[in-house]
A and B are shown apart, each in its own frame.
Chain A
């Protein structure tokens, strides 16, 4: 075997460490799905609260959104995992990664949903009100269905980008795909586990990336 095959596609090592790396893949998938659920749900909730136009809530949400949209994901993860224990808040690597990535996605999706709600023409509010609908029925039955459609392409891109941050969990010893591959590589003194991890990441993200391009094409056309 040439050095390339021997180093990067070593069958014996792949067989030996495959199960552990696959286990890491499931951790990655779990963190990714939880992050999306937590992040998008929180973001939508925050945008709905903003739509109620309560001044104090508005300020609090703006501060939250600006902080988590601005800070690098890794800084948030490291702060939550290594900083918060000093305030007696000790999270597991799994929880720390989900909370950090969830907060970042929540900030971005709150901003996207809020912008989308504002992008629905005011006439829609007026028309619904003149039909005698109350605030919440207007918001949930008239405005949000249109806003969510506007938000979807931006939201998909953002969710995918932040989900890729699951690999950052390796910085706080989360036994996800990259972390497991790295320790297998260190033990075996051979980077084949890394090749396998890279292939699994592609398996997970390529369909999402291709789907997001397709979704964008369906979005509102600009003139």
Chain B
């Protein structure tokens, strides 16, 4: 009992929690804002890459594959540090929010690009030929015929990657952007106990858990279908 009380006093101290809540709430809002701004941009860029790839121009294919693999290979934090601390040497100083958006978008343009690309390539060529025979414009073919089928096939990795993107926003803490994790660290230094860290972890968990469950179900269904 005593040990449990000691543990609770340290890791879940209510008084500290009440004191630091305004700070955490601000951090939470910034985390949500960062996610809401970054997610759609990354999806659109990734989709654009995949659509350009689908026209099968030889040069474009090579360039786009290099783009995809390059940005998938960088740890996103390395991109962020390059952008935030490296670019100023070229006279381009981005505020930390913009630097985070740019780093996460570049990194995820590779992930989303590859997911959409694999989805589009998995559609049988007969679909494209049939659509062409009906006299559809190439853009109509890709957006009205190919993409709806492709997206349905890659729903699981799309959802999973979107979850990872939101989780990734926590790296913003390392360039002093006061999102949830950073706020919790600052608060921890004020309270001298880890309650703010526990609170931040609980908030992240409560925010993302339903989504994580849903992603897990999609992935399991996908494995079942392809067996």
Tell me whether A120 and B227 are in contact (CB under 8 A): yes
Q: How far is the CA of A109 from the CA of B193 in the complex (A)?
A: 33
Tell me whether A191 and B75 are in contact (CB under 8 A): no
B205's nearest neighbour on chain A, judged by CB, is: A70
Any A CB within 8 A of the CB of B208: yes
* B interface: dominant SS: helix
Contact indicator per residue, chain B 186-227, by CB within 8 Å of chain A (1) or not (0): 001000011001101100110011001100100110011111
Any A CB within 8 A of the CB of B26: no
B65 to chain A, nearest CB (A): 9
Given contacts A87-B7, A154-B219, contact A70 B227 (CB under 8 A): no
- Partner-contacting stretch, out of B46-54, B82-90, B143-151: B82-90
Q: How far is the CA of A154 from the CA of B167 in the complex (A)?
A: 19
Contact indicator per residue, chain A 68-80, by CB within 8 Å of chain B (1) or not (0): 0111111100110
* A interface: dominant SS: helix
- The one of A70, A185, A213 that contacts B204, using a Cβ cutoff of 8 Å: A70
Any A CB within 8 A of the CB of B32: no
Any B CB within 8 A of the CB of A165: yes
Any B CB within 8 A of the CB of A36: no
Q: Give the number of residues in A that approach B within 8 Å (Cβ atoms).
A: 58
Tell me whether B193 and A202 are in contact (CB under 8 A): no
Given contacts A72-B181, A220-B226, contact A164 B75 (CB under 8 A): yes
- Partner-contacting stretch, out of B56-64, B127-135, B169-177: B169-177
Tell me whether B85 and A222 are in contact (CB under 8 A): no
Any A CB within 8 A of the CB of B122: yes
A35 to chain B, nearest CB (A): 13
Any B CB within 8 A of the CB of A33: no
Given contacts A66-B209, A74-B181, A150-B223, contact A205 B85 (CB under 8 A): no
A65's nearest neighbour on chain B, judged by CB, is: B216
Tell me whether B11 and A83 are in contact (CB under 8 A): yes
- The one of A86, A150, A202 that contacts B194, using a Cβ cutoff of 8 Å: A86
Q: How far is the CA of A178 from the CA of B82 in the complex (A)?
A: 10
Q: How far is the CA of A8 from the CA of B82 in the complex (A)?
A: 10
Tell me whether A178 and B78 are in contact (CB under 8 A): yes
Across-interface contacts of B122 in A (CB, < 8 A): 222
B17 to chain A, nearest CB (A): 14
Q: How far is the CA of A222 from the CA of B78 in the complex (A)?
A: 36
Tell me whether A210 and B181 are in contact (CB under 8 A): no
Across-interface contacts of B70 in A (CB, < 8 A): 202, 206
A70 to chain B, nearest CB (A): 4
- The one of A8, A118, A220, A222 that contacts B153, using a Cβ cutoff of 8 Å: A222
Tell me whether B213 and A170 are in contact (CB under 8 A): no
A223's nearest neighbour on chain B, judged by CB, is: B226
Q: Which of A106-157 contact B (CB under 8 A)?
A: 111, 115-116, 118-121, 150, 154
Across-interface contacts of B77 in A (CB, < 8 A): 167-168, 170, 178
Tell me whether A4 and B78 are in contact (CB under 8 A): no
Q: How far is the CA of A202 from the CA of B188 in the complex (A)?
A: 35
A171's nearest neighbour on chain B, judged by CB, is: B174
B211 to chain A, nearest CB (A): 8
Across-interface contacts of A116 in B (CB, < 8 A): 223
- The one of A70, A167, A185 that contacts B209, using a Cβ cutoff of 8 Å: A70
Question: Measuring CB to CB, which residues of chain A are less than 8 angstroms from any residue of chain B?
Answer: 3-4, 7-8, 66-67, 69-75, 78-79, 82-83, 86-87, 111, 115-116, 118-121, 150, 154, 161, 164-168, 170-171, 178, 182, 185, 190-191, 194-195, 197-198, 201-202, 205-206, 208-210, 213, 216, 219-222
Which are the 3 A-B pairs with shortest beta-carbon distances?
A: A83-B194, A72-B167, A205-B73
